[in-house]
Amino acid sequence: MDQAELSTEQVLKRDIPWETYMTTKLISATGLQLLRRYDKKSESARAQLLDEDGPAYVHLFVTILRDIFKEETVEYVLALIYEMLSANPTRARLFHDESLAHEDTYEPFLRLLSKGNWFIQEKSCKILAWIISARSKAGNGVIANGEASASKKPITTIDDVLSGLVEWLCAQLRQPSHPTRGAPVAISCLSTLLKEPVVRSSFVKAGGVKLLVPLISPASTQQSIQLLYETCLCIWLLSYYEPAIEYLATSRTMQRLTEVVKSSTKEKVVRVVIMTFRNLLPKGTFGAQMVDLGLPHIIHSLKTQAWSDEDLLDALNQLEEGLKDNIKKLSSFDKYKQEVLLGHLDWNPMHKEANFWRENVTSFEENDFQILRVLLTILDTSSDPRSLAVACYDLSQFIQYHAAGRVIVTDLKAKERVMKLMNHENAEVTKNALLCIQRLLLGAKYASFLQA
């Protein structure tokens, strides 16, 4: 059978010749006795043994992984540990018991990440993630609770473990060992591990943040939704860490998160993205980015939906208020740009203020005349007469105040679009479409004589 497709249940059906290992002195008589009491027994019986003698079983399992290299046996012991921890993750604390102070409980799992087949790699990764998350936060730098000085061999430090594990996780995101399970397993482990500040630091130093960004995209199947959720959870955890925030600001993270929140109906996905936005809003240029991406309109739309999660509703309200405050601080052109990007235009004072156009007309050149292009899109797609009228008027203002306005608007093929609106049923639209065409045909020299 392909080792990548092995399940824990299949592995645990094997019969392992423990007596032979005792005969060859690879396990002790005490170890054999512990195994006979534990192996192939009911879940309740195993749970009782772990409650009574948990550290002894951890010591036994780690010793077997350290001393025995036969693949079937290694897989079997990893399956036993995985089963033990998945049934009750708090059992990971047993690996930090004082009685194991001089045991290097991490070394076998770290070694197996790079040496084993996929089943071995996957189980070692998940077990390591559980054990790291359960460790004492004393911060003494030594991951096995131990006094390394008393040991002949240096005990694996937190730095060794995190460096090795984060390196493996990043490798799975770059070039997975398993084509369909490599990335999901790595993301699942990261969504647990990134709760640890020390892991965030290692992950950012390893260049891991950029590996998450491609995975942020709208999802449809159950598996891809879970992967998307855990990826967004990683981004949320990183949004608490300043060096990661710097990268998030300069990548396409915000655009991708916005696409996800616009299209996702899964409450937990929407919640974690909104909470990420809330964290990032006060930082650097994120507020302006959110306004540019039309987030105020998206938030307004999300608030009309029937969410059951109180945290999500609170986050939506806080984000909405925060964005309103952000818009208040924007320059007049930023406010104008926000209005255009949202696609809903109204007769705000700036549209008719001569000073606004004199001071900001060159800003329309930004991003290859992005705002002019959006105005033309509004002419093509909007069914709102007020938006159509204001868009025509703004084009006529640009023609009047920009030295090359007539040429630029002509090159953007605006004339044909505006001409269509001269027969519009709404008088306000036809009046402003006519003004725009007059200014386009007459040019800036005579345009100032035409007033709306």
Residues 6+ apart with CB under 8 A from 193: 129, 132, 133, 165, 169, 199
Q: Report which residue type is found at 45.
A: A
pLDDT in tens, 233-289: 999 999 999 999 988 987 889 999 999 999 998 999 999 999 999 999 999 878 888
Correct CATH for 203-330 of 3.40.50.2300, 1.10.510.10, 1.25.10.10, 3.30.1330.20: 1.25.10.10
- Residue 138 banded pLDDT, cuts 50, 70, 90: low
Q: Which residues are paired to 157 by β-bridges?
A: 142
- Residue 337 banded pLDDT, cuts 50, 70, 90: confident
| Global pTM exceeds 0.85 | no
Backbone angles phi, psi at 2, to 5 degrees: -60, 125
> What pLDDT is attached to residue 4?
55
Count the neighbouring beta carbons within 10 Å of the beta carbon of residue 22: 17
Rounded-to-10 torsion of CA 396, 399, 400, 405 = 170
Q: Which residues are paired to 142 by β-bridges?
A: 157
> Is a pLDDT exceeding 50 seen at residue 229?
yes
Q: Report which residue type is found at 312.
A: L
> What pLDDT is attached to residue 99?
92
> Is a pLDDT exceeding 90 seen at residue 333?
no
pLDDT in tens, 62-111: 999 999 999 999 999 999 999 999 999 999 999 999 999 888 999 999 99
Quote the mean pLDDT of the chain: 89
Percentage of residues in the chain having pLDDT higher than 70? 93
The fold of the 331-446 domain, in CATH, is: 1.25.40
CA distance 439 to 452: 11
Q: Which residue ranges make up each domain of the chain?
A: 1-132, 203-330, 331-446
- Residue 137 banded pLDDT, cuts 50, 70, 90: low
> What pLDDT is attached to residue 139?
44
